[in-house]
Amino acid sequence: MKKLALPTTDHIPMPYDGPSRADVLALRTQYLTPGLITYYRDPLLIVEGRMQYLWDETGKQYLDAFAGIVTVSVGHCHPDIVARVRDQIGRLQHTTTIYLHPAIGELGRRLAEHMPPGSGLSVSYFTNSGSEANEIAVLSAREFTGNTDVISLRGGYHGGTQGAMALTAHGTWKFKSSPSANVKNATPGYCYRCPYGLEYPSCELKCARDVEPLIRFETSGDLACFIGEPIQGVGGVVTPPPEYLQVVYDIVRRHGGLCIADEVQTGFGRTGAKFWGFENWNVTPDLVTMAKGIGNGAPLGACVTRPEIAKVMARRIHFNTFGGNPVSVTQGLATLDIIDRDRLQDNARDVGAHLKNRLLELQERQPLIGEVRGLGLMLGVELVKDRRTKEPAAAETAEVMELAKERGLLIGKGGLDGNILRIKPPLCITKADADFLVDCLDDVLSTVSGDGAFVSR
């Protein structure tokens, strides 16, 4: 194994004196649902984190290039966040929204200020998760329009509740017992694997234009909404061509539907050039859902919309006990303050561009890399056995992750075939971290055998 040095950090992890990894695993196996998956053949025990780094129980340091599934935006245990949350939790953990608390309205105001000027996106409904935010968004769209039909995208992911699973068009990934007759799936802008065998731009955006016949022939013709991620996260960093969302939004609006942007992964500066993912596609949604990066690890989500749409939620009682609790919301405010103060969106743009360029260079000498795509610090590397046939290299992807872990690099994977490396680190990573990441992948890609030894479910 090549000697690769992780960038140094001042942080010295505390000695770990908890139960052994074997005991932790045994407890989990006996007492937790087998539905929980773990990454890696030997699941990792992580006991401490600071900024972009994590440590296991032996004191081994890792670069976290997956940020707790794109959750940790400004850095693990950011000292400013820890201080503010510690102060809040010592004063008041919970009041429910039936009483007033200053933090919740303040976060609503700050989110509204981060929306594009003139968009009218100014009213927040706080939740504990992205799934709940998407449930509220679709419910609001149905109530507002009086229609029930929804369009979502193949390969999209919107969460794990019954309603969110029905939006999540993931073939064999998700339970088939959560279908919805009112949700139809359109074709995403996945040019590398165009289902029509066309090429951009001569394709004239057939994937986006096909939303029109889908609505006419497979729905009532009157839509409640379209929901889509500006860049598909779990689906494998699927990054549509520039006009894709404009074409889809136009068609949906002509059929009476609202447009929901699921910014759970793409929001909060991750795509670098823009604060919200949708802004990269020059569209303005009617509802924006968010979670993960909003709270740097806190269970916090939100649906932000225009006042006239939000008003429909006052027709009945709809209540979320912990949604907008003072502790989560304080963490959300602290996160937003740090993103702005430390110009982390700019860092995502600059380090992201450097990282993407280096990955593109890597593609030139590593034949397993079929495509490098994404924006800012939301990058994907699609691995294929053969660049001509594009056969997904799923076993190799699992092996790359495993070998990268040995070298101190944690990355994610995605795509329907599990053959896409997902690189989505905390926004605070440096160019030195990016260089370590690429050098590590270079070393690993030179040694993968593809023998399937590391494939798990």
Residues contacting ligand PLP: total by CB under 6 A: 16
Q: Which of 53, 55, 157, 226 forms a contact with ligand PLP (CB under 6 A)?
A: 157
Let me know: does 421 contact 411? Beta carbons within 8 Å.
Answer: yes
**What part of residues 35-64 is at the interface with ligand PLP (CB under 6 A)?**
none
Q: Tell me which of 73, 119, 124, 129 binds ligand PLP, using CB under 6 A.
A: 129
Token code pair at residue 226: 């379209």
Min. distance of Cβ 261 from ligand PLP in angstroms? 10
CA 455/CA 457 separation, integer angstroms: 7
Residue entry with tokens 């139809």? 184
- Least distance (Å) between residue 446 CB and ligand PLP: 31
Q: Does 291 bind ligand PLP (CB under 6 A)?
A: yes
Number of Cβ atoms within 10 Å of the Cβ of 444: 25
Question: 63 has which bridge partners?
Answer: 53, 409
Query: In this structure, are residues 73 and 293 in contact, taking their beta carbons and an 8 Å threshold?
Result: yes
Q: Look at residue 61 and give its three-state secondary structure.
A: strand
**Terminal alpha carbon distance of the chain:** 27
Token pair 């992580």 is found at 46
CB 307 within 8 Å of CB 57: no
- CA 127 to CA 321: how far, in whole Å? 9
Q: Which stretch in 48-56, 158-166, 349-357, 449-457 sits in contact with ligand PLP by CB under 6 A?
A: 158-166
How does DSSP classify residue 169? B
Longest dimension (CA), the chain: 63
Quick one: 230 or 370, whose CB is closer to ligand PLP?
Answer: 230
Nearer of residues 336 and 444 to ligand PLP, judged by Cβ: 336
Task: State the residue number with the nearest CB to ligand PLP.
Answer: 130
User: Distance between CA 349 and CA 388 in Å, rounded?
Assistant: 31
- Span of 109-117, 127-135, 181-189, 447-455 interacting with ligand PLP by CB under 6 A: 127-135
**Residues 198-257 within binding reach of ligand PLP (CB under 6 A):** 229, 233-234
Among 64, 149, 243, 262, binds ligand PLP (CB under 6 A): 262
Of 30-38, 92-100, 154-162, 411-419, the segment contacting ligand PLP by CB under 6 A is 154-162
Contact range with ligand PLP by CB under 6 A, out of 21-29, 197-205, 217-225, 262-270:
262-270
State which residue, 291 or 309, has the beta carbon closest to ligand PLP: 291
The residue (of 148 and 289) whose beta carbon lies closer to ligand PLP is: 289
Q: Residue 160 or residue 241: which is nearer to ligand PLP going by CB?
A: 160
Which residue in 155, 157, 111, 112 sits closest to 134, CA to CA?
157
Which residue, 233 or 324, has its beta carbon nearer to ligand PLP?
233
- Kindly state whether residue 188 participates in binding ligand PLP, applying the rule CB under 6 A: no
- Using CB under 6 A as the binding rule, whether residue 410 contacts ligand PLP is answered as no
| Residue in the block written with tokens 């609505």 | 215
Beta bridge partner(s), residue 223: 149
- In whole angstroms, give the CA distance from residue 385 to residue 196: 22
Contact window for ligand PLP (CB under 6 A) among 104-112, 128-136, 316-324, 355-363: 128-136
Decide whether 169 or 291 has the Cβ nearer to ligand PLP: 291
129 vs 284 by CB, closer to ligand PLP: 129
Cβ closest to ligand PLP, residue 168 vs residue 363 = 168
131 binds ligand PLP (CB under 6 A): yes
Task: Rule CB under 6 A: say whether 281 interacts with ligand PLP.
Answer: no
73 or 265: whose CB is closer to ligand PLP?
265
Q: Which stretch binds ligand PLP (CB under 6 A): 156-164, 218-226, 344-352, 355-363?
A: 156-164
Contact 133, 264 (CB under 8 A): yes
Please report which residue ranges of 366-427 form alpha helices under DSSP H: 394-406
CB 261 within 8 A of CB 232: no
How far is 156 from 229, CA to CA, in rounded Å?
7
Give, in order, the Cα–Cα distances in Å from 169 to each of 134, 249, 406, 414: 14, 19, 34, 14
**Which uninterrupted H or E stretch holds 38?**
none
CB of 101 to ligand PLP, least distance (A): 22
Dist CA 438 CA 422 (whole Å): 13
Interface residue list for ligand PLP (CB under 6 A): 69, 129-131, 134, 157-160, 229, 233-234, 262, 264-265, 291
